Structure 1
Amino acid sequence: MSISILFTPRLKFPIHIIYIVLVIAAIGLSVPRLFMKNQPRTRGNTIALAMGAKSLIIVAYELLTEHCGALRRWQSYKAYWILNALEVVFWGAVATIIMQANFTRCVGVGCKMSWAVVAVSIVINALAFHLTIVCFLQYRMDARGSQDKPRLESTESAQEDVPLHHIGKVSHDH
């Protein structure tokens, strides 16, 4: 199997769908822990909520600007690359902080749920790393001008390509 098959842009959409499901799972596992009795309320309990909300916004930006024609003017492979690289760092931090909290104090069902969030955040981290590589390769291809699909340009650059027609002599008399 060629390495180019693993990092093809065609895999981005299915990976984004899996990513969304896992982020919602991390949020879903974190919310009940906030309301459990005899559970400590720490950063580990709330960080997955904040990172999950942020990740959903980032994935929504990527999906909408890539698949919705009206929003393509805000499509940027460089932004995708940077945002996905940040996702790797952030979900790594989620896993680390929750593991530290679990090693300090971990009791009952909340403990099992927090370890599940750690597992989910590690998988999300791996998917974000994969998306970072794919988006970096897309950015490099786009920078070289060899991107397969044409990008919609902003209205200013589109107007520069319109041929000018002679409209006759313009009078400047007032």
Structure 2
Amino acid sequence: MEAFLVSTGIVALAEMGDKTQLLSLVLAARFRQPWPIVMGILVATLANHALAGAAGASVTTVIGPQALRWILGGSFIAMAVWMLIPDKLDEGDADKAPRLGVFGTTLVAFFLAEMGDKTQVATVMLAARYDAWAAVVAGTTLGMMLANAPVVWFGDRVMRRVPIRVVHIVSAVIFAVLGIGAIWY
């Protein structure tokens, strides 16, 4: 249960102001069909985070516990620094033609945008940290949905009320504490 809850919280915070959250806003504004967008985000996130979780879980079979502890600690601290750098959506991403329909366009765009993203890296690290692949993937997916579904449904109203800079700082502190904790213990 700890793996699920920590994964949910970390990814929900890390997603605030992230490029995939901005992509959710752009898709919602462009297509104005929240259900296919939310379903596309869900399927893309499940696929992406399942692969990331599998990569993180397999790392533990190759790297010894001491080395893994230092790598994870350093990675969490690097994530803390990365959280302080705000993401911006590329202007060209919003103008792609929806040949695949709203669901397909969302699925492909979201899956690709998530590649190498903070939340994907966090999923790899969390799966390496906890011996609970399914709980981590379920938690990170729920975190993504908690951060993105309201944006799809409520758009600008949510984005104006959430102090993104404060969320980034809180997220950075959480990642730093996790990193120091991984190294220390």
State TM-score, norm by structure 2: 0.35
Which structure has the larger Rg? 1
State TM-score, norm by structure 1: 0.36
Q: Higher RCO, 1 or 2 (CA under 8 Å, sep at least 6)?
A: 2
Q: Which has the higher helix share?
A: 2
